[in-house]
Every structure is written in structure tokens, then in C-alpha cells.
Structure 1
Amino acid sequence: MYSLKVPFFHFLRVLITLLFCSSVTPFYMPRLGTFRRTIHHDSKTIPSSSVPGFRKFYFNQKLDHFNYKPESYTTFKQMYVINAKYWGGANSGSPILAYLGDEEALYYDYKNFLTDHAPRFKALLVYMEHRYYGESVPFGLSTTKALKNSSIRGYFNSAQALADYAAVLLHVKKTYSAKTSPIIVVGGSYGGMLASWFRLKYPHIAHGALASSAPILYFDNIIPPEKGYYSVVTKDFKESSEHCYQTIRNSWAEIDRVASKSNGLSILSKRFSTCKKVKRASNLKDYLDNNYAYAAQYDPAEVDSICRDIDAAPIKTDILDKIIAAFEPATPQKGSKPCHDIEVINLEGWGWQTCSEMVMPISHGNASDSMYPPEHFDLDSFSNQCKKLYGVLPQPHWITTYYGSHDLKSILHKFGSNIIFSNGLKDPWSCAGVLGDISDSLVAISTVNGSHCLDLSAADSTDPQWLVQQRHTEVKIIEGWIAKYHSDHQASNKLSPPS
């Protein structure tokens, strides 16, 4: 049985927030996120303890990097973390591996790709928190409070975040006398997009980028809905079990049928053991939708687990009982009865980001073999919801205008270098990733059985050989970038006239 002991990140519900207006069907999309979290910390960053050598710092960051109004020079405390345990030392030329924080508080208290390979590189590790998340919110506010202030949230965007990272990294290089140390930026998911964009926008600061599970093509309708996120979720479940796939596919209509009865919502509440009464069938369907998608995104083994439980039900078992058999209700608090919390409302920063610039037109689509009922992304409806929620309209073309995504292969071939795009093809976001090599230094590494950002997790003795090889390949490529950096630097010094 697929355990739901703590709710996963629920889909962005742009809104349930329309001032909690029950007459509006919320639009939502799958949350990104490098690693799946079992508990979400919004305003606090967990302290460093399990991995030695971490030190937390705060950088006086400018509120606005792109204007010269008096308020632009307002500063806030941006949190970053240094691990110098394996650092080769000042003026050694040892590299800096910089992790770019994404759409949540910075988690650095765990072993991961950077800590695993820091000894090999003799690297200085830098972890930077994204503005408006965790401890790095201007004016000392929480993310939630900052988003309620229209004069403050306008500084919350990816371009400002990249400029933040540039400022912190230059500060770190100066502080650690690391002038000749190449910087390799690393990020996953939204952070992977930031890593690739940082290499393009700040090539004089970052010598290379590892962009894991970065769906940089999911903008401006580059990816057609029938080939989008949910098509991969469908594929994952269908490959696991045809019967399971068909059962889930048929369950949506059955939920609607039961809900249409005079006491249908009460029946669904009781059968699915929800913590509160189901208010709309769409709430329950969104909840199930979310959990299927996140199983596919983060762990293919959970897809198999769900399908085993569905398939294990006797042949004449009711469709909904088959679905219920796959999910174990959580215990919300000690002593309470286990139940499914299907109405988790998430009003954090990613809601603002998707309503401003990170407009990803995700929907179920209308593919004939989809596991989901037909659904289309309606930009007008989405824009109206964002307008009601934040007072501004989304800018759906801005990402492709500012960073480029249309004809990306040609753009990167002309202007880019030293980026690894890694993707696990079981991950639904891989549909919008770069899956083919563009040049000798713009490399795509795809794994058939890989999931979301799996290569950035810590190595484990149980890792399959293909994952071991993936990480090995990434490290060898980065080593090549660093070697060429030093070779070019030495050649440049020989050509320079003596001082």
C-alpha cells in the first residue's frame, strides 16, 4: 500500500485562493522541487548537523539590481552556506561548486552530489537560498506576508535571483582569495533552469552548469499538451500495469457519478476516509491526480506499488475500492483517526512565480490514451485568476524572450557552452528537458529509468549501475571543464606582458 503518512507538496492551487471562492474551479500545476520533501519548512531552514563543515552566513543583498531608484538600494539578508571542509585553499585554483536554491527554503543538511564529490575536486561548496524563500525574504517578512504586499512582491523574479547569486559568488571568491577558482553552478528542477540560465547570463562568473531535470522548454506552448507532463505520467503507469492504468482512467467518471448523488459527497468522504467532508468532487480528483503524478515524478517504485495494490483487488471489486486500496491514510496528529487531508492550500512563492513569469501551460491534454480526463490550459482563465489573486496579469512570453527557448538548440549552439542537461525519462518533467547533445560541451545525459533530480541525491550502495555511471559521466565532464579552464588561464598568463 502506498503510504501517505505526510501530505506531499500539493499541486499549486491558483486558487482555492481566489479568496477561497468556492464557485471557482482552481487551476493548478505540478510543483517542481529538486527533492521530494516529507515535511515542508517555509520560513525556517533546518540547522546543519548530520554533515560536518557547514557554516551559515548572511549577505547584504540589494533589493533591486536593475533600477537606480532610492528604494532599489534597500538591502535584505540573503542566507548562504559554506562548506570548506575539502577546500583546496586560497589561491589553489580549486573549484567552487555552487548550489542554486530553488522555490523553497534552502536545505543543505544532507549528503548529496556536491558533498559526495567535494573531496575529489577539493572544492569549496556554496549553497545559496533563493530570494523570498526561507530566511531570505526582504524586510524580515515571511514569504506569505511578503506576497500580500504589492510593492514588495514585484522584486520576486528569476532575473533578480540570478543577480543575487552573482553578487554572492563574487563576494565568496573575494573573501576566500579564490580569484583563479572556476565556479560550477548546480541546480535541480527550477534550480536546474536557473543553473542553465546563469551560465548563459553570467558566463564570466560560472564556468559551467549542471542542470538536473530542468524543464526549460515548458514555456510559450513549445511543448504540446498531448506530449506534456501528464503524457509521461500516463506512460509510467501504463508500463507498470495495463489493468492499473485502465482502472485509474475509469475512476474519474466513477467519482463524478457517485458525487452526483444527493448524498454523494458524504459517500466519497466516508469511503476515502477524508479528514474533512469533500466539498467538491474536483478536490478529491485533484488529490489523487497529485499523488499519481508525484509517484511518477520522484519514484517509479511507488508507481509499481500503487499498481500492485490496485491489481491485487479481487476481480469484482468496485473501481473506487481498488483505488482506495492503494492509499494508506495519514494520521494528522497523535491520537487522531487516520485520514486523507485533501484540501492542503499552498499560497507560497511558487504561486506568485507562476502567476508572473513562470507560466507553464500544463494540462491533461486530450490524448486518446491519457489516464486523465480531457483538460486544456486556458490562458485567459488562468490570467483572470492571477489578476484577482495578485492584481497583475501573467507574462507568458517573458521567459522565452529573456532566456530564449524557441529554437533553443540553435541559440545554445551559437552562444552557449559547458552545460550538462540531465534527465530521468520516468520523470514527467523530462518531456520539457533538453534530451539531445547540442555540441561537445552542451551535453544531454538521459537515463531510461531515472526520476526527478535523482543524480543530485547522495550515492548509495543500492544505487543501480546506470545511476552510478550517470554521476561518473557528469563528474568526468566537469573535470574536463576545470582542466580546460586552468589550461586556458595558464596560456593567457604566458601571453600577458610582464608587469
Structure 2
Amino acid sequence: MVSRTYIFNVGNFAFLFAIFVVGEGRIKGFGRFYDWQKPVSDDQWFIQKLDHFNGADGRVWKQRYFVNDAFYKMGGPVFLMIGGEGPANPAWMQHGTWLTYAEKLGAICFMLEHRFYGKSHPTDDLSTENLRFLSSRQALADLAHFRTVMAETQGLVNRKWVAFGGSYPGSLAAWFRLKYPHLVHASVATSAPIHATVNFPEYLEVVGHSLASENTDCPLLVKKASDILIEQLSDPANYDNITKDFNLCSKLEIQTETDSAYFLETLAGNFMDVVQYNEDNRGFEGVVGTNITIKVLCGVMADTSLGDPYARYAAVARLMMDTFSMKCVDVSFNKNLRDMTNTSWDGPAAGGGRQWVYQTCTEFGFYQSTDSPNQPFAGFPLEYHVKQCADFYNITAEQLAASVVETNEYYGSYDIHSDRIVFPNGSIDPWHALGITQDIGADLPAVFIKGTAHCANMYPANSKDPLQLTLARDHIFLHLQQWLKQ
């Protein structure tokens, strides 16, 4: 029997939100489905400290990691792939651009799963009390301790270590080099949002621009559909038809603004997810739905034979359901609330949803609101996102805002004082709005890739890849080659 795991989206990261080993990002939406039937690398376990910042706490736990030494040549570098807000996928130990680099440079490759995700369970459950041990700072300390011990036990003390990560793990890769420069020689921080912000309406602005890059009418049609839908929601007499049109699992009930926002965000997630992962080469991960692209969605929205823009919006929802073999769409916020407050490791949100939203509430924000007029959606403002921090973890808006300020103070936001970090980003990817898209300096270069989406440079090369993506991968390699000589 094939087991499929639903993974929420990196930031709403996340978020997403679909999640994979190098991180992704959205908190809600249909997400992605992964087929874990075929393991390609054996799980290995590292004894890790629970709290790196309290010497009086001697508790430890087992953290999962993977190794590929097929390309290692004596004296070669060490590559460390950083896990993100979901289970670490061992398929990355056999696929991906980083292995192409490893083969050329004779590197040994490690991948470390992020604490509290996948099989790396530091605590008995996911209670809010236990989640206090989940943070980017603890994750960086995990990386530091892992790197130190593995270097000593595997004869890699004098080797140069290079960190790799995409999305939230891309941020970790940059921050690892920033905070532990004596341990990591260089970093590739792909699609890394390095500025924390509570409100992130720019995400949807980029979604609109990316849709327009395919068809200038596309975001206008989406906006028209969204406006019609909101108007329909104002009259409960329309709920039966809406339930049927969007094939909801139960009759639509809108009793609060949160109910409405959750429904509207779920439908908008169809477009958000597709834009973020547009035309990626992720088949090796067992991902379903890579055939659904911006071109496909805009084609549906432009098809007048389907009816008005509202009907075409519903057709997009049905297309996504068919693609993911979903019988219906559950848009009940009350059910989501029950799922997200279930603290068991067997709970429906334990695949990453409860953990990642906690990190957004305590470190990053990243809430993809409709507060900007320059985007095609409506109905899920910042207040809706912030309220969930209180609903799920009893974290107030004031605590959230203070945490985001503290994150930027600690890491420096865009003001990065380091070297040997390369920042690849794609112009279609909404996360580039919080990333580095222009060179900070000669040793802090940006690689801005026109026409590509989230983490595109990390995936295996494909004959259909645009020239600019191929050149970007080569450019990143040249930086690594040069830095490893230093």
C-alpha cells in the first residue's frame, strides 16, 4: 500500500503550504503530496542536545540524517544540506544540483533533518510548552554541533564545509555562515527570505505579476472571480450553490470572518501554490501536480466556454482536486482549528503544519495577506492570520510583533555582514520579495533568475530548462569552486 503524506506549505514558508527537505512555503492550501514508498537512503541518527542554550539541561534526543559518500575524494569538501519545515526526503541524496557539484568537487554529502520535523522528535509531543525548543537558533546550534562531532568522528576536521538550503533552510544556510563562520566555509542560500515581517502582502503581489507574465488578463480575471465570490458569500442563500460549485466536503457555513477568510484563502492557494512551484523539476521527489503550471491555470481562466470568471475559478478548483485525487475540499476552519491544536505526533498537522505556524508566530510572521490593492485576491487580511497565533498557541499580536523585530535584530535582515554566501532567487517566486536579489558585495553575490520559480536552481537539470537557469547553476558552481580555493 502506498502511503501518502499531506504536507502543509514555508511561510503561508514555508507557507509551504507544501513542504520538502529544503523548505517551501505556504501555511495552507492544497499543498503537495509525496510518495514515500521507495526509500533511497538509510536513516542514520545523531545524538543531539535538546536545549543548546541551557547548560544545566542535559536532555538529548535522536536527530535523523543521511549520508552520500559516493563522490568523496580524500581531501574534498563536505556538503551539508539543511532540512526544513517538513520531513527530510532521502531522494535528495540521489538527485539535485548539489550532487552535480559534489561529483565535480569530490565532496561527501550530509543532510540533517530539522528538529521537530519528519522523524526528528525531540519531545514527547507538540504541546506549546515543548515547542519552545523549536526555533531557528536551536536549529543552527543543531547544525553546529552536528558539524563539529561529525568532523571529529569521520576524519573531516580539516575539510571545508559548505551549507545548502532552499526557502527557510536557505535562510538557515545564510545564517549558519553568518553566526558560525568558523564552522562553515561557504553557503548557497537559495530562495531564502532573510527579512522577517509580520505582514507579507508582497507575496500575492508577485503572484499577480507572475500570472500576468503568462497572460496580462489572467490576474484581472482572477480578481473578478474573487470579487464575485465574495459578493456571493454575502447572502447565505448562495451557500448551497457555492458548496456544489467548489465540491466542498460539507455545506458551506460562514458564521465568522475567520470562516470566510479560511475559505477564500484555501481557493486562492490553488494559484499561490502553482505560481510558487511553476515548472519545477521535482518528479524525483514523488510530487504530484507538477504538470499544473501558470500556463494551465491561466488557460482555464481565459476559457470563456466555461462561463463567467467565477465559473472558471471553480473549474480551477476542480482541476486541482482531480490532480490530487481529492474527493472534496474541506474548508471548515473549526476542523482546521482542531487539527492544528492536536499536540500528538500522530495528529493531522504533525507533518509540519503545527510546527511551522508556531515558528511564524514566534520568529518570522510571513503572513500572506490580501492587504495590498495591487494583487488579485481578497478576503484574508492580516488580522485573520495573526488571530491564529492566539487560537493555536495563545500567542498575542504584541508578542508576535516583538518576536519578528527580535529576529531581524539577531540576524540583521538585509544588512548581512559576512562573505562566501551566494543568494539565488527566481523572478516568478513570490519569496524573492524578502530575499537578496542584488549583489551585496563580491563575496555576497545574488543570482536573480528570470522566469523561474521557488528553488529552481536546486532541482536536477532538464533539457527543457531555460538558458538562464542553466547559466545560473553554472554561475553558482563557479563561486563555490573559487571559494573552496580560499
Q: TM-score, normalised by structure 2?
A: 0.81
Which structure 2 residues correspond to residues 141-156 of structure 1 after superposition, within 5 A? Answer: 141=124, 146-150=125-129, 152-156=130-134
1:272 to 246, 251, 261: 246
Q: 1:425 to 1:218 in 2, by over 3 A?
A: farther
1:340 to 329, 333, 340: 329
* Alpha-carbon distance between aligned partners in 2 of 1:207 and 1:96, rounded to the nearest angstrom: 10
> Unaligned 5+ residue runs, structure 2?
25-30, 255-259, 280-291, 337-348
Q: 1:60 to 1:47 in 2, by over 3 A?
A: farther
* Alpha-carbon distance between aligned partners in 2 of 1:434 and 1:474, rounded to the nearest angstrom: 15
Residues 214-264 of structure 1, C-alpha deviations (whole Å, 9 max, x = no match): 01124367x7x4xx1111011112232233222211122211232333431
**Structure 1 residue aligned with 2:47:** 60
**Structure 2 residue aligned with 1:352:** 358
Between stretches 385-394 and 348-357, larger displacement belongs to 385-394
Q: Match of 1:266, SS?
A: helix
**Structure 2 residue aligned with 1:449:** 451
Q: Match of 2:463, SS?
A: coil
Q: Between Structure 1 and Structure 2, how many residues are aligned?
A: 432
Task: Provide the identity percentage.
Answer: 25
Q: What residue identity is the alignment partner of 2:299?
A: R
Residues 360-417 of structure 1, C-alpha deviations (whole Å, 9 max, x = no match): 25422333x4212376534xx7655424432343222121121111xx34xx3xx300
Q: Per-residue deviation at 1:419?
A: 0.3
Q: Do structure 1's residue 459 and structure 2's residue 461 form an aligned pair?
A: yes
* Alpha-carbon distance between aligned partners in 1 of 2:323 and 2:164, rounded to the nearest angstrom: 35
Q: Per-residue deviation at 1:425?
A: 0.7
* Alpha-carbon distance between aligned partners in 1 of 2:295 and 2:367, rounded to the nearest angstrom: 28
Q: Match of 1:434, SS?
A: coil
Residues 156-200 of structure 1, C-alpha deviations (whole Å, 9 max, x = no match): 111011000111111221122112210000000000000000000
Residues 37-90 of structure 1, C-alpha deviations (whole Å, 9 max, x = no match): 73259xxx77632xxxx4432111010111122xx210000111111111113x
Q: Per-residue deviation at 1:309?
A: 1.4
Q: Per-residue deviation at 1:278?
A: 2.3
Which structure 2 residues correspond to residues 103-252 of structure 1 after superposition, within 5 A? Answer: 103-110=85-92, 111-139=95-123, 141=124, 146-150=125-129, 152-219=130-197, 225=201, 228-252=202-226
Q: Per-residue deviation at 1:339?
A: 3.2
Q: 1:95 to 1:12 in 2, by over 3 A?
A: closer
Q: Match of 1:320, SS?
A: helix
Q: What residue identity is the alignment partner of 2:407?
A: I
Q: Match of 1:397, SS?
A: helix
* Alpha-carbon distance between aligned partners in 2 of 1:263 and 1:7, rounded to the nearest angstrom: 33
* Alpha-carbon distance between aligned partners in 1 of 2:108 and 2:324, rounded to the nearest angstrom: 41
Residues 399-456 of structure 1, C-alpha deviations (whole Å, 9 max, x = no match): 1121111xx34xx3xx300000110010011111101111111000001111000111
* Alpha-carbon distance between aligned partners in 1 of 2:120 and 2:7, rounded to the nearest angstrom: 24
Between stretches 394-403 and 433-442, larger displacement belongs to 394-403
* Alpha-carbon distance between aligned partners in 2 of 1:11 and 1:216, rounded to the nearest angstrom: 13
Q: 1:319 to 1:387 in 2, by over 3 A?
A: closer
Query: Any conservation in 1 of the 2:218–2:301 contact (CA below 8 Å)?
Result: yes
* Alpha-carbon distance between aligned partners in 1 of 2:161 and 2:37, rounded to the nearest angstrom: 26
* Alpha-carbon distance between aligned partners in 1 of 2:227 and 2:389, rounded to the nearest angstrom: 29
**Structure 2 residue aligned with 1:293:** 272
Q: What residue identity is the alignment partner of 1:58?
A: W
1:263 to 237, 259, 276: 237
* Alpha-carbon distance between aligned partners in 2 of 1:321 and 1:32, rounded to the nearest angstrom: 26
Q: 1:58 to 1:351 in 2, by over 3 A?
A: same
**Structure 1 residue aligned with 2:310:** 320
Q: Per-residue deviation at 1:457?
A: 0.8
Q: What residue identity is the alignment partner of 1:340?
A: V
Q: Match of 1:460, SS?
A: coil
* Alpha-carbon distance between aligned partners in 2 of 1:341 and 1:376, rounded to the nearest angstrom: 21
**Structure 1 residue aligned with 2:424:** 422
How large is the Cα RMSD of the aligned pairs? 2.8
**Structure 1 residue aligned with 2:344:** none
Q: 1:364 to 1:266 in 2, by over 3 A?
A: same
Q: Match of 1:357, SS?
A: helix
Q: What residue identity is the alignment partner of 2:422?
A: I
Q: What residue identity is the alignment partner of 2:366?
A: M
Q: Per-residue deviation at 1:475?
A: 0.7
Q: Per-residue deviation at 1:267?
A: 0.8
**Structure 1 residue aligned with 2:438:** 436
Q: 1:235 to 1:382 in 2, by over 3 A?
A: closer
Q: 1:6 to 1:275 in 2, by over 3 A?
A: farther
Q: Do structure 1's residue 78 and structure 2's residue 55 form an aligned pair?
A: no
* Alpha-carbon distance between aligned partners in 2 of 1:6 and 1:324, rounded to the nearest angstrom: 25
Query: Any conservation in 2 of the 1:32–1:190 contact (CA below 8 Å)?
Result: no
Query: Any conservation in 2 of the 1:329–1:340 contact (CA below 8 Å)?
Result: no
Query: Any conservation in 2 of the 1:298–1:452 contact (CA below 8 Å)?
Result: yes
Query: Any conservation in 1 of the 2:370–2:380 contact (CA below 8 Å)?
Result: yes
